[in-house]
Amino acid sequence: MKEAFVQSIQNLRANKLRSLLTMFGILWGMISVVVLSATGEGFRRGNDKVLRELGKNIAIVWGGRTSMQAGGERAGRSIQLTLDDARAIAAESSMIAVVSPEIERSAVNVKSAYNAATARITGIEPQYQEIRTIELQYGRNFTWKDEEQVSRVAIIGADMADQLFGKRNILNEPITLNGVPYTVVGKIRKKNQDSNYSGPDNNKIFVPFAAMSRDMPRLNGEPGTLSDIIVAPKDWVVDLLPQALDERTGRIEDIDWPFERNVRAIIARRHGFDPEDKQAIAMWDTSLQTLMFGRMIGHMKQFFSIVGIVTLLLGGIGVMNIMLIAVKERTREIGVRKALGATTALIQRQFFLEGFFLTLSSGGAGMLIALGLCQLVNLLPMPARFSGMILSWQAGTMALITLVVIGAVTSTYPARRAAELPPVEALRFEM
């Protein structure tokens, strides 16, 4: 085995230029596999990051207007969601993981010691911060204690903080919201949020739900009503989405998603509208977006991987071509070795190892170069929705397996040709 290995290396060194050129094919094939797959993965992660800014897999539920007659009431009745609806959803739905009520007021006059602004104020419960990705640059998040004590505290979006305080540290600074004094307890990190339902979080001020409903209830709604309810489904609900999508008969638009049905049924019972009435509540389920974007990027990644593997195969053809030539050139050597008693298996192994070694070493080198290239590219500033070139371990393993398979396949055929040469013919062979 060792002898065969040494001999392989000697043979490769004997034809340096040829070996190098052949290796370049595989090397490049490997680089393109890794680069393409890393690009696809970068798109996937970048996209995930942007989706997470609003909240991955959450749904926003608003009250709507009934469009079907139900229980003696005419259509066109306006449905206003209440805190009790939020509590009922949390208690009754089997599909829900997290629920938070939300009250919003726009055009609130905000004053700090330094500047003034008109801002949108949002009242939220603590669990909201996790599902809506309210992550702080510094300070503390809201807790249930803030709810119990109805504390007048606020956390502020990055842009709004800049407007109110400039570059100053905003922790424990007093502000007034429509004249009511609050204390700043946190600053939200700058968000790269590309979708929103009532303005980007960078421009918002958040306060505890209890304080909000006392100090700034909704203006144009009945007392005690909410702006909306944020719900996050359990993981298995999200996992069922592709099935619903694939089993649809009409347009995607017309699918009645199981999660939405579930939430609507609970609210329908409490407000006495037809559970089939899709317009009675409005629901924006971001997990659908996540799913669609995921599928879109999945398709792109798939295309890229196929192209990459095809490129690697091309390198494999080069190896096979060169190995066939090597067999031909060394026909007499093979004849001599066979005449001296070398077995068919031995010859086959010799040539197989040579080709296989050539493939693996250049493929390995290609992988290292590609990883270096990815690192280099990642030093550059990245556009939105792209997290840089990242090789996932699955893709890396996949590439290596493909390499081994290609090496094995392209080395087997020339090795078989070499091994099957009849010794007498081989000895007589003249180029």
CA 90 – CA 395 distance, rounded (Å): 40
Measured from the CB atom, the residue of 124 and 291 that comes closer to other proteins is 291
Q: Please report how close the Cβ of residue 400 comes to other proteins at its closest, in angstroms.
A: 19
411 burial type by CB count under 10 A (0-12 exposed, 13-18 middle, 19+ buried) = buried
CA torsion, ordered 55, 136, 166, 146, to nearest 10 deg: 100
Query: Residue 306 or residue 401: which is nearer to other proteins going by CB?
Result: 306
Q: Where are the alpha helices (DSSP H) in 272-392?
A: 286-329, 331-339, 344-378
Q: Minimum distance from CB of 24 to other proteins (Å)?
A: 5
If the CB atoms of residues 197 and 217 are measured against other proteins, the closer one turns out to be 197
269 or 299: CB nearest other proteins: 299
Helices 344-378, 286-329: inter-axial angle, 10-degree rounding: 140
Footprint of other proteins (CB under 8 A):
17-18, 21-22, 24-25, 28-29, 31-32, 35-36, 39, 64-65, 67, 75-76, 107, 109-110, 115-118, 163, 251-253, 279, 289, 292-293, 295-296, 299-300, 303, 307-308, 310-311, 313-315, 317-318, 320-322, 324-325, 329, 383, 385-386, 431
Residue closer to other proteins, measured from CB, 293 or 409: 293
CB 166 within 8 A of CB 114: yes
- Between 22 and 287, CB nearer to other proteins: 22
Nearest approach in angstroms of CB 296 to other proteins is 6
CB of 361 to other proteins, least distance (A): 17
Give the rounded distance of the alpha carbon of 264 from its chain centre: 29
Comparing CB distances to other proteins, the nearer of 7 and 118 is 118
CA angle 142, 145, 150 (to 5 degrees): 85
Nearer to other proteins (CB atom), residue 21 or residue 265: 21
Supply the minimum distance, in Å, between the C-beta of residue 301 and other proteins: 12
Nearest residue to 205 via CA among 183, 231, 229: 183
Residue 317 — φ and ψ, nearest 5°? -60, -40
Q: Which is nearer to other proteins, 69 or 143 (CB)?
A: 69
Question: Shortest gap between Cβ of 250 and other proteins (angstroms)?
Answer: 10
Map 206-262 to HEC letters: EEEHHHHHHHCCCCCCCCCECCEEEEEECHHHHHCHHHHHHCCCCCHHHCCCHHHHH
| Shortest spacing between CB 244 and other proteins, in angstroms | 13
CB distance 401 to 408 below 8 Å? no
Q: Which of 366, 194, 170, 156 is nearest to 286 (CA)?
A: 194
Q: Minimal distance in Å, beta carbon 136 to other proteins?
A: 23
Q: How far is the CB of 151 from other proteins (least distance, A)?
A: 25
User: Alpha-carbon distance 231 to 308, whole Å?
Assistant: 41
Distance CA 325, CA 315 (A): 16
Comparing C-alpha atoms, which of 320, 321, 319, 346 is closest to residue 333? Answer: 346
